[in-house]
Amino acid sequence: MSFCRFGGEEIYQDHFKPGLYVCSRCLHPLFSSRSKFPHSSPWPAFRDTLREDSVTKMMEILTAFKVLCGKYGSGLGHQLLNDGPENGTSRF
């Protein structure tokens, strides 16, 4: 999960089987498939993290946080504010 692929090779974008998404480096639980939703971005999209300590967030700009594995520190992408499936929600 911690390294997304570019160029149309991302295998988890359209993957909706039940389960957990974990850090590829340390297996720390990050997201549940229950919080995943379809999105036009080339990466998987989630409403929320599995637990409060699943990720560490650092503000990059006013509308986005850089997201890291809460245990290992691997880069996971961003939390984009007000870009979730419902009005006023975020997308990871």
Contact (Cβ atoms closer than 8 angstroms) between residue 76 and residue 68: yes
For residue 61, CA distances in Å to 31, 39, 57, 74, 78 come to: 23, 22, 12, 20, 10
Q: Which domains occur in the chain, in start order? A: 38-91 (2.170.150.20)
Tell me the pLDDT tens digit for each residue of 5-43.
445 566 677 777 899 999 988 999 999 999 999 888 878
Whole-prediction pTM: 0.83
Contact (Cβ atoms closer than 8 angstroms) between residue 49 and residue 1: no
State how far the Cα of 30 lies from the Cα of 52, in Å rounded to an integer: 9
